[in-house]
């Protein structure tokens, strides 16, 4: 079992388990409940407009991987109280980390089980790790948030 704040991966921090994402900054952020693929793609283009053309597909890929992970593993238990609550929520915005401004992508869901990073496979989460500057997950009273910061510089 992982301990809080344990960093998974050798060499550089790869997945920060039990670590909250940096706080949103710069005022502009967007929240979407149960977004479709088309909504995710358009939201990334809107919120992160002005970033280099090479970076936008990376942001879209990270957002889509986090959403797909929530779709696959966050199926809610049916109940009368939670019938209208969202299964997962996507938040896009900006944050400061180490003195630099980064796009921040977060997906929250109601499943309290933390993501598992399998070293032997090329999972969606491994792709997120490869495409982000930092990423991690933190539990909440009602589930968890999985997040990633993407380097906004040209590749």
Structural domains of the chain sorted by starting position, each given as residue range(s) with its CATH number in brackets: 18-76+84-149 (3.30.565.10)
Cα–Cα distance, 107 to 144 (Å, whole number): 8
* Residue of 151, 15, 145, 153 lying closest to 91 (CA atoms): 145
Cβ pair 94, 148 in contact under 8 A: no
Q: What is the pTM of this model?
A: 0.84
Contact 30, 92 (CB under 8 A): yes
Confidence band of 56 (pLDDT split at 50, 70, 90): very high
80-84, 91-95, 103-107, 151-155 — which is least confidently predicted? 80-84
Q: Has residue 6 got a pLDDT over 70? A: no
Half-sphere exposure of 144 (CA within 13 A, CB side): 21
């Amino acid at each position: 079992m992982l301990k809080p704040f344990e960093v998974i991966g050798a060499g550089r921090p790869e997945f920060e388990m039990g670590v909250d994402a940096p706080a949103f900054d710069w005022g502009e952020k967007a929240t979407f409940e149960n977004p479709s693929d088309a909504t995710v793609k358009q939201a990334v283009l809107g919120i992160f407009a002005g970033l280099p053309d090479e970076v936008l597909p990376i942001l879209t890929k990270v957002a889509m991987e986090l959403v797909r992970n929530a779709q696959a593993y966050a199926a809610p238990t049916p109940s009368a109280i939670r019938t209208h609550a969202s299964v997962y929520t996507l938040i896009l915005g900006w944050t400061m980390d180490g003195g630099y401004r980064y796009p921040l992508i977060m997906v929250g869901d109601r499943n309290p089980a933390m993501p598992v990073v399998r070293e032997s496979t090329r999972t969606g989460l491994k792709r997120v790790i490869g495409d982000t500057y930092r990423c991690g997950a933190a539990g909440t009273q009602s589930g968890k948030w999985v997040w990633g910061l993407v380097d906004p510089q040209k590749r």
